[in-house]
Structure 1
Amino acid sequence: MVDLSQYVPILLFLFVAVGLSSLFVFLPMGVARLTGAHKPDVEKLSEYECGFPAFEDSRGQFDVRFYLVAILFIIFDLEAAFLFPWAVSLEEIGWTGWFTMMIFLGELALGLVYAWKKGALDWE
């Protein structure tokens, strides 16, 4: 017979996590229902941040180039995140680490040239 008593703490943790997350989700919904916050009227639906109605639908689609620029930003931001620890530990990792980072930077430079040539950085 297999002893399953070692899984009791995990199950207890799981039940507590599901209970708390359910409480955090459903308690505000219940309080809103009881206090009347769910009943929309003209005043509740009015614009309160900018003071005037929106010019167009807020669910409009973005241009694909916006996402391309965002992805490129994330890639080069991560490059900066890799460069700092590399620079701090360069004395310890030696020439092997230096050449490895130069290969990494070369690949990123090739990617940037490719994106530039494809027009991913051009904005009209």
Structure 2
Amino acid sequence: MFMIMYMSIIILLISNTMMFISIILSKKSFSDREKCSPFECGFDPKSSARIPFSLHFFLITVIFLIFDVEIALIFPIINLFKMTNIYMWFKISFFFIIVLLLGLYHEWNQNMLNWTN
């Protein structure tokens, strides 16, 4: 027990020391208008390089990734069926599916699943 505690303290100290050294030694850069503007062969840019970002598309992407990870977490439940008794498997599966359905209901309630505004 103490060995794990000592190792975690040592790892914490080493990582914090490395982060502190990197902050001290990092190159300071001063941003000016020329450095922040896009480079177009020496000419002034014709239009803004910063296109507007669709927050709605980003949220739909995050929801898709969450459901994708949830599907990846469901696959081991199939193998778990062979290793445990049916009652324990049913409890685990039911709890997991209920959590997924509650998340889906919350997203539906917040109108996050609408493709258009």
TM-score class, shorter:
0.5 to 0.7
Match of 1:23 in 2: 21
C-alpha deviations, 1:33-57, integer Å up to 9, x for none?
xxxx537463x333149x7542668
1:77: how far off? 2.9
1:38 aligns with 2:30: yes
Task: Mark the runs of 5 or more structure 2 residues left unpaired by the alignment.
Answer: none
| 3-state secondary structure, aligned to 2:48 | coil
Query: Max radius of gyration: which structure?
Result: 1
> Is the contact between residue 47 and residue 53 of structure 1 (CA under 8 Å) also seen in structure 2?
no
Aligned counterparts of 1:81 and 1:26: Cα–Cα separation in 2: 42
Identity of aligned residues (%): 21
Q: How does 1:1-124 map to 2 (within 5 A)?
A: 15-29=13-27, 32=28, 38=30, 40=32, 42=34, 44-48=35-39, 53-54=47-48, 62-63=55-56, 66-67=58-59, 69-70=60-61, 72-96=63-87, 97-109=89-101, 111-112=103-104, 115-116=107-108, 119-124=111-116
Aligned counterparts of 1:119 and 1:14: Cα–Cα separation in 2: 42
Aligned counterparts of 1:41 and 1:121: Cα–Cα separation in 2: 40
Aligned length: 107
What is the alpha-carbon root mean square deviation over aligned residues?
4.2
Task: Mark the runs of 5 or more structure 1 residues left unpaired by the alignment.
Answer: 1-6
Aligned counterparts of 1:8 and 1:94: Cα–Cα separation in 2: 40
| 3-state secondary structure, aligned to 1:23 | helix
Aligned counterparts of 2:65 and 2:99: Cα–Cα separation in 1: 15
> Is the contact between residue 107 and residue 113 of structure 2 (CA under 8 Å) also seen in structure 1?
yes
Q: Which has the higher contact order (CA 8 A, sep 6+)?
A: 1
| 3-state secondary structure, aligned to 1:72 | helix
Q: TM-score normalised to the size of structure 2?
A: 0.53
Match of 1:3 in 2: none
Q: TM-score normalised to the size of structure 1?
A: 0.51
